[in-house]
Amino acid sequence: MADTAVQDVEIAAVSARDELIHVLRAAMAITAGVWLYVTNNPFPVSSNAIQRSLLPFQAIVATLPAESQLMFRELQVSLIEAETIRSAEGSWPDAPRLREDGIEPFAPNPALKTVAYDWAMTRDRLIINYLGRPEKPGAPAWLVRVLEPDPSLPREVFVEDEEHDQLLDGAVLHVSIWTRPDGAALPERIGPLPQAEGWIQLYAADPSGIR
């Protein structure tokens, strides 16, 4: 009878920090996943829906090319991941951290032949920007903007729509995803009003409630 080799396997315990991030990610992903499904699979709204016309600098992502629609959805998911880290660690992850965690589009998918981007995170007081500059001339630039609540003001009531997210501590964030057709001509700093610099704010579903 042949000898059977026995190999000892060491099972390392998950650190408290990693375990907390996993729990927070699951909780936020469940909540946000429902919203992403609704916005990316729109259905007729009731008659009491808030009516609001699109402004000249706003657009529905379905009107853009397929590659831009994919980027938009990846940024929606990456924002959830960034918010999870923010809830767990108290600070926003920079672009290298998101890339190291394998979060697309900060970590490019090698199976997809898409435009390469140089991602950077900047903060201007309460405004957090995740900016993607294209390495290919003529490709669009991308911007994820988060506005944190002013701690000197009363806490805002959370409204569940594409422009608001909520951290696990109850803090309400104003969030938005933008694109700019001429990505090669970006200024060094993004101003407080992206629309004044040629940026277009994107929505997964028509915020006016009109289908």
Phi, psi of 97 (to 5 degrees): -65, -45
**Residue whose C-alpha is closest to residue 87's, from 146, 139, 134:** 146
**What pLDDT, in 10s, does the model give residues 83-110?**
999 999 999 999 999 999 999 999 988 8
| 104-159 confidence digits (pLDDT tens) | 999 988 887 788 999 999 999 999 999 999 998 889 999 999 999 999 999 999 99
Cα–Cα distance between 97 and 91 in angstroms, integer? 12
**Dist CA 42 CA 38 (whole Å):** 6
Neighbouring-strand partners of residue 197: none
The model's confidence at residue 47, banded by pLDDT at 50, 70 and 90, is very low
Judged against a pLDDT cut of 90, whether residue 9 lies above it is answered with no
Quote the CA–CA distance of 60 and 69 in Å, as a whole number.
10
Structure tokens of 41?
């699979």
pTM: 0.75
- Say which amino acid occupies 178: W
Question: Locate tokens 């201007």: which residue?
Answer: 124
Which tokens go with 60?
């529905």
Q: List, for residues 153-210, the tens digit of each pLDDT value.
A: 999 999 999 999 999 999 999 999 999 998 878 888 899 999 999 999 999 987 765 5
What 8-state DSSP symbol labels residue 87? H
- Please, what is the angle between helix 16-40 and helix 66-89, to 10°? 140
